[in-house]
Amino acid sequence: MTASSFFKSAFIFLFLFSQNAVVLAQVVPVTSPDGRINLLVSTAGQISWQATLDGSIVIEKVSMSMTMDKDRVLGIKPIVKKVQVAALEELFEPQIPHRDARIESKFNEMTVDFKGSYQLIFRVYNDGVAYRFKDHSKKTTTVYGEELSLQFPEGAGSFFPKEESMYSHNERIYLHKPLTALGQDDFCSLPVMFESKTSKVLCTEAELHDYPGMFLRHVGNGVLKADFPKYVLKAVDNQNNSPDRNQIVEEEADYIAKVSGSRSYPWRVFMMGDDDRVFLESNLLTQLSGPSKISDASWIKPGKVAWDWYNANNIYGVDFKAGINTATYKYYIDFASENDIEYVILDEGWTKSTTEIMEANPDIDIKELIAYGKERNVGIILWVLWKPLDEKTEDILGLYASWGAKGIKVDFMQRNDQYMVSSYERIASTAAGLQLMVDYHGAFKPAGIEKIWPNVINYEGVKGNENNKWSSDVNPEHNVTIPFIRMAAGPMDFTPGAMANAHPKNYLISFDRPMALGTRCHQLAMYVVYEAPLQMLCESPTRYKKEQESVDFITGIPTTWDETLVIEAKVADYVLVAKRKTKNWYVGGMTDYTPRDFELKLDFLGSGTFSMEIMKDGLNADHHAEDYKRELIEVNQNSVVPVHMVSGGGWAAKIVEKIKS
């Protein structure tokens, strides 16, 4: 994914020790390039570190170690052999840019070599810190555990995505509460955000390869420790609950991973700042992930998708019976073609059964549909359960590619153990060889393979719009929380675009005819705010045809970006962001249940005159959520535009340079 990279190294100091020498410095400082973040690494007794921002403690203490092959522990009673600190720079040009097309990365890196054939690497950026273990022993076969103990300053709080089990879709509400209010053994998936009086920290991981995903467990008194799913020895179908997709882990090992000798382990990442905008602008996860394994990614085509499952194929006013059949999907394809929507997904139901996935439902002619879409410049993406796909990956993907499908949507993984993490990458690799894109649903968060395999073009792992079918969980406050936390890890398949919009007083739950909390412009703004190179339109095409003005606005918004600029932002309260694609700018604003007013200065525009199309909450949007107003005005870099959002509201705009005649 790196088009070019370069390194400028300046070694600040270098200590060399014999095995029996006394370590000269048991506490070693490393600072960020701008000098604001200071990392103090201690090697006394056990490796630990503390982080400060402008002199204030952000993370009180992190201690860590790894237990390998039962009797070998990395990080306890460490003996330092060598310390190197270097100032480094890198330049990234991602093949599929989620946030920025050009990423200039500066960081200070400390590499510590220890007796016992292992290293710790620390990196300090202007927006966070990260560390990873490297084991150089060729004899290592097993990882029994990895310790990470995390302690924050007194009074710290969290936005905590509490999990009930490690067998999970990782779709959670972020519980905002003090750390001391967490229950004993409450645990969460990643990413998770912590806050103190002066700053916030987002904890996640990068370069997660062939290793289990990490959880954090509250062990009491505000202290959290890493927890990992054990290596799965035996998983069986859950005969009492959808055995085609749900499993029961019957037998686990007493270790978390099998390994083959020397290797690097995942980055433990701590994004931090005293301005909430940092969590929307940071590219830390991209900077910490490895290079692409796809040399030519030109076949990977981001775009928008007409999606069937949310709206339950609820089309009407047609001369055929709507449902999972060829005529219905031709209707979706026609709608996509008429609106320059690149793809249509055939979700659950298109196969003969959920486990017989190499044959289509008898009511669907899959080859005819793919050919019909090709004639109309619409690609077809096929939903598939992970379990049968994992069993016959090459055969199934080879068949889908031979039909002409453009990608797959893989669902119901629900695990983070080593086998599952490796399965993600194996499927991605096989799909890449067949030029198939991958959208992981029922998934854990992005953690690096989307850079190594950029055909992995989206992830769910978020409580998104589909929850409208059975709950009221997805509300405006949740919607302005997830960009700062879940999206900090990478793109998210939230599936926006609901046209049935409501406030709490008139919100109704319906599985087949769902509605979304918040205004119409709240949904429209998601297409700018939410990062998703493969971005859904969740509503029924029939409903969209009645809302052509909204559809035209949505389809005119890109799904990848050249530059991201955050104007105003506060976690769980509001966001106002501007994004550039070539010379055009797009602005999205969203608020929680508090009405908001901002002044949008357009000083980020270049010289010249621009046409600005605005979609804003209508005068009556405070009680009728579907009310909006479209405006077209002329602006330049000196213009200041008022932004008003009602409770649960939104605001969105396209800014296009006017061509002189």
Backbone dihedral region for residue 108 (phi beyond 0: left; psi -120 to 50: alpha; all else: beta): beta
Helix axes 326-338, 366-375, angle to 10 degrees: 20
Q: How far apart are the first and last CA of the chain?
A: 40
- Interior CA angle at 596 toward 590 and 597, to 5°? 110
Distance CA 133, CA 51 (A): 18
Q: Is the dihedral of CA 114, 6, 270, 429 positive or negative?
A: negative
Q: Mention every residue, 6+ apart, whose C-beta is less than 8 A from residue 508.
A: 502, 515
631 given a catalytic annotation? no
466 given a catalytic annotation? yes
CB 91 within 8 A of CB 5: yes
β-partners of residue 125 are: 107, 128
Q: Mention every residue, 6+ apart, whose C-beta is less than 8 A from residue 301.
A: 342, 379, 406, 437
For 188, the enclosing helix (H) or strand (E) is strand 187-188
How many CB atoms lie under 10 A from the CB of residue 202?
28
Amino acid letter, 453: W
CB 157 within 8 A of CB 176: yes
Residue pointed to by tokens 């103190």? 196
CB 462 within 8 A of CB 189: no
Backbone dihedral region for residue 322 (phi beyond 0: left; psi -120 to 50: alpha; all else: beta): beta
Q: Mention every residue, 6+ apart, whose C-beta is less than 8 A from residue 300.
A: 95, 96, 294, 437, 454, 455, 457
Nearest Cα residue to 645 out of 624, 622, 613, 626: 622
Q: Mention every residue, 6+ apart, whose C-beta is less than 8 A from residue 52.
A: 37, 38, 40, 58
Could you please report the per-residue DSSP string of 509-563? --SSS--EEB-HHHHHHHHHHS--SEEEE-S-HHHHHTTHHHHHHHHTS-SS-SE
Amino acid letter, 614: I
Given the residues 347, 411, 531, 592, select the one marked as catalytic.
411
CB 194 within 8 A of CB 152: yes
Q: Mention every residue, 6+ apart, whose C-beta is less than 8 A from residue 659.
A: none
Amino acid letter, 100: D
β-partners of residue 307 are: none
Nearest Cα residue to 232 out of 384, 392, 421, 70: 421
Evaluate the omega torsion of the peptide bond into residue 191 and state whether it is cis, within 30 degrees of 0.
Answer: yes
SS3 417: coil
Given the residues 207, 308, 466, 493, select the one marked as catalytic.
466
Active site residues: 411, 466
